Amino acid sequence: MSGIVELDHVIYSLVPYKGYGVRAWSRKEAVYNAERAFKGWFSPYEQLTVRPGVELRAIAMGFKDYMYIARVFLREGLDELRRSGVVSHIALVPLDIALEKRLSLEEVDKAMASYVASKGIGMNEIEPLRISFSEKDRDEDLEYLKTVVDVDEAGQLLKYISEPDIKTIPDIKIIVIFEGDTESRARLAYALAKMFAIHGVAEYIVTVEKPVDNILIEFTRAVIVLDKMIPGIKPMRNWRVVKIAEKRKGGSVKKDIDTTLKKLGYM
């Protein structure tokens, strides 16, 4: 089945003569939903974390039946003085479309980037995102996940995110170390968010940099995909770290070992 999928979206940024606020929306209800989903923080990152030429992403779950994708970046000429500032562009993806119809979150990301490139940073009411979509036999996000995260690592992540016990450890923060640029970490973040949704995790956020402290406090489950440990993050008893091993081309390590043992005459 193919057709056009329409998604609500919200733009938070500088508003002329007002400062930072909700600048544009496809529906007013989407503003309320996005604000609740991100615990009152339309932009989940500190302003200093958002660097020129780098687009950050975050995916939140937990309010109504949506996955909320935020693309956060810098843009020039936003207010009456033509000043630059942070833009947080948030799309609302219905869970049934993301999971049952297998709409790729990466595809949504590309549609968001295309919208901004063609329409700019709008004001007031804007048209919804429109994505040409064909229902697929396989989920592209999950197919990518399996090329990066092996079964043991996936099991470990699912174990950790399912761990919280309100009496002993009320929340869990997971740092995923994945050596890659921001775009690569964003792709993995989308795949992890989809995996957690399928696992039935009710509320979580996945980010590609350390989010604002309030986000870490408010969400019972937070997953941060980093290329390395950074200052400012001090793991405590409710923190877990998973390092995604570099996948070698030409097969798994075990396969390579077996091949060598065969060559040596052991097998």
Does 233 have pLDDT greater than 80? no
C-alpha dist (Å) from residue 19 to 15, 119, 163: 5, 21, 41
The CA distance from 101 to 244, in Å, is 28
Does 255 have pLDDT greater than 70? no
Q: Supply the pLDDT for residue 242.
A: 92
Q: Supply the pLDDT for residue 263.
A: 55
The CA distance from 215 to 23, in Å, is 22
**What is the distance, to the nearest Å, from the Cα of residue 164 to the centroid of all Cα atoms in its chain?**
21
Summarize pLDDT for 93-108 with one digit per residue, the tens. 999 999 988 999 999 9
Summarize pLDDT for 172-183 with one digit per residue, the tens. 899 999 988 888
Q: Supply the pLDDT for residue 266.
A: 55
CA quadruple 30, 69, 63, 195: dihedral, nearest 10: 150
Q: How confident is the model at residue 132 (pLDDT cuts 50, 70, 90)?
A: confident
Mean pLDDT of 141-162: 91
C-alpha dist (Å) from residue 148 to 53, 81, 106, 153, 179: 25, 45, 15, 10, 11
Of the candidate ranges 21-30, 48-57, 219-228, 236-245, the one whose mean pLDDT is the lowest: 236-245
Q: What does pTM read for this prediction?
A: 0.87
The CA distance from 138 to 128, in Å, is 26
Q: Supply the pLDDT for residue 252.
A: 47
Structure tokens at 101: 């119809």
- Average pLDDT score over the chain: 87
Strand runs (DSSP E) across the chain, as ranges?
A: 2-7, 9-15, 19-25, 56-61, 66-75, 85-94, 124-125, 129-134, 172-177, 204-207, 221-226, 239-243
Q: Supply the pLDDT for residue 232.
A: 58
